[in-house]
Amino acid sequence: MSLRKVRFGLKWKVALLLALLLISVLVVLSTLVLAGIREDQRVRLEQSFAHEAEAANLRVHQEFLTNTNNEMQPDAFMESVGQRLAVDLGSQSGMAVTLYKLDGTFTGTSLPFQPKMDVKDALAHTEEGRSAYITEGDQLLYLAPLRNMDEQIGTIQFHASLAEQHAFYERIRKLFLVTGMSVLAAGFLIGYLYVWRQVHVISRLNLAAQQIGEGAYLSEPTVKRQDELGELAQGIFEMSGRISSSVSQLTEEKLKLLDAIERLQELEQQQKQFIGNISHELKTPLTSILAYADLLDLYRDDPELLEEARTRIRKEAQRLYGLVEKALQLSSMDIYEFETHAESIELKPILEEATARLQAKAEQNNITIQSNLTDGKVWADADNLMHMMLNLLDNGIKYNKPGGTVTLTNEVQDQQGVDRMVIRVSDTGIGIPDHARERIFDPFYTVSSDRSRVYGGTGLGLSLVRSLAEKQHGSVHLTETGPGGSTFIITLPMDRPRPEEIRSAEESPDLE
């Protein structure tokens, strides 16, 4: 069984701090108020006793004046009228009164019994002309000098009860205690709820920060407030947007880098394959030429062999020349990108010229070239476009059947809201098998090596056409294969393409 660690969170810390502050304020406030009450009671008692002492002195003076023997000494005067005077003064003040002579001797009291408190020290103070207090429990004795004019004749003692003052003080103290506890409880509860709300907001901000750290970026501020926490939430939201944008850019750059690496790897592999294929393709006609050259040395007197060797050497040399020329064209396309000069050109004259150039070869092979051309402009390099058309028409003638036809057409099509020129080259030849359809545009790929040697194919023509089409921001596709022939479609932009149109055309071309 695992013990869960208790978390002394911010709300508890702030609530405890608030409680301590409330307790401190209540303690200090109650202490000061209660001390003020005590001081007020003391001052009021002093004023009351001082007033009663002054009234008592006035009464003594009156008594002394009305006495028949004005020459009587103070001690004799106190001895003669002390008891009666004490009762009168007690009745006048409403408090118990006791009188003493100058030497502290008891002379009279309004109490039915004599107080048992020791007042010797207090009497010593009054003899010096000063007042004195004696308190014991709820009882208070106030002793003051008793004078006749400026002559001290004794001491007067007032006996008062402090029970009412003590009860009042105790009620105030209990009131402070009850009120303080109520205020403390209410203040703690209100403070805890307020702090809990703020901590809840902070927890939401913390959760938002964790989500950002995990890659879940915010779509809106977590908290909407018109204070510092609201500003913090807005700052976290803006930070989330900036981080999201930066991460997206980094991801895009990473993908571009991976694509570049993949492309470099593909290019490296293509380069190796290109070198291997070109070596093999170059070796084949050279081997044939060397073989016939050796036969010429051995059979110089054989006219038929000489004629056959001459024909074969010439044919292999032409094949070798075409192979080298197309290989150089492919190589120069990858290296000299700047040599492609695209512009707006009329398409129909170029197609007519390409047809005219191959008309003689078509007639030699008993092939008919048909064309159905329309006017229109395309954005392309005229030389590159001519190379593309000559290659496709030449293939249509070479791999056709005697008496067959090659059809050339063009039309404008709306592809994803953009007008593009579509050129079709169809033939009625031997066709391309389905298994070769995906690789027909790879360099040096031929459907059949025997067929390529018979017709003089090098496997570079269609690869050259695809590369040239891509340079014009267009595309080339094989759409129909089989015994009935093949159809190649070239799609070219009619105006200078925008970047988004280029991407759209390359990603999803319309083949209809």
Give the CATH number, domain containing residue 409: 3.30.565.10
Calculate mean pLDDT across residues 476-480. Answer: 83
477 and 440 Cβ atoms separated by less than 8 Å: no
Q: Which range among 11-20, 127-136, 374-383, 462-471 shows the weakest confidence by mean pLDDT?
A: 11-20
474 and 492 Cβ atoms separated by less than 8 Å: yes
Residues 381 and 273 in one domain: no
Is the model's pLDDT at 452 over the cut of 50? no
398 and 455 Cβ atoms separated by less than 8 Å: yes
Residues 6 or more apart whose CB falls under 8 angstroms from that of 165 comprise 41, 45
Residues 283 and 369 in one domain: no
Give the end of a domain, one of 338, 366, 389: 338
Residues 333 and 346 in one domain: no
Cα(203)–Cα(33) distance, integer angstroms: 42
pLDDT score of 509: 43
- If you ran DSSP here, which 8-state letter would residue 337 be given? G
Is the model's pLDDT at 338 over the cut of 50? no
Calculate mean pLDDT across residues 474-487. Answer: 78
**Assigned domain for 208 exists:** no
Return the percentage of the chain with pLDDT > 70, whole number. Answer: 81
Q: Partners of 490 in the beta sheet?
A: 423, 476
Residues 223 and 319 in one domain: yes
Residues 307 and 346 in one domain: no
Calculate mean pLDDT across residues 352-369. Answer: 88
- CATH classification at residue 241: 1.10.287.130
155 and 144 Cβ atoms separated by less than 8 Å: yes
Cα(110)–Cα(86) distance, integer angstroms: 5
**Assigned domain for 199 exists:** no
Give the end of a domain, one of 293, 323, 338: 338
Calculate mean pLDDT across residues 421-434. Answer: 86
pLDDT score of 456: 47
Is the model's pLDDT at 451 over the cut of 80? no
Closest CA to 421 of 331, 350, 316: 350
> In this structure, what token pair is assigned to residue 239?
């930070």
Between CA 139 and CA 142, with CA 141 as vertex, the angle to 5 degrees is: 140
pTM for the predicted model, two decimal places: 0.41
Residues 353 and 259 in one domain: no
Residues 489 and 392 in one domain: yes
Closest CA to 95 of 72, 84, 111, 81: 111
**Assigned domain for 4 exists:** no
Tell me the per-residue pLDDT of 307-316, one tens digit each, with 9 for 90 and over: 777 787 877 7
pLDDT score of 330: 58
**Assigned domain for 47 exists:** yes
Is the model's pLDDT at 41 over the cut of 60? yes
469 by DSSP, 3-state: which? helix
**Assigned domain for 328 exists:** yes
Residues 353 and 267 in one domain: no
Q: Where in the sequence is the domain holding 276, given as residue range(s)?
A: 217-338
Residues 400 and 416 in one domain: yes
**Assigned domain for 267 exists:** yes
pLDDT, the chain, mean: 78
Residues 308 and 362 in one domain: no
Element (H, E) at 479: strand 475-480
Residues 89 and 118 in one domain: yes
> Which residue has 């109490």 as its token pair?
111
Give the end of a domain, one of 338, 363, 382: 338
**Assigned domain for 202 exists:** no
Q: CA distances (Å), 206 to each of 209, 232, 236, in order?
A: 5, 11, 10
Residues 353 and 403 in one domain: yes
pLDDT score of 135: 83
Calculate mean pLDDT across residues 160-167. Answer: 82
Q: Of the segments 101-105, 109-113, 195-199, which one has the largest average pLDDT value?
A: 101-105
**Assigned domain for 359 exists:** yes
Domain count, the chain: 3
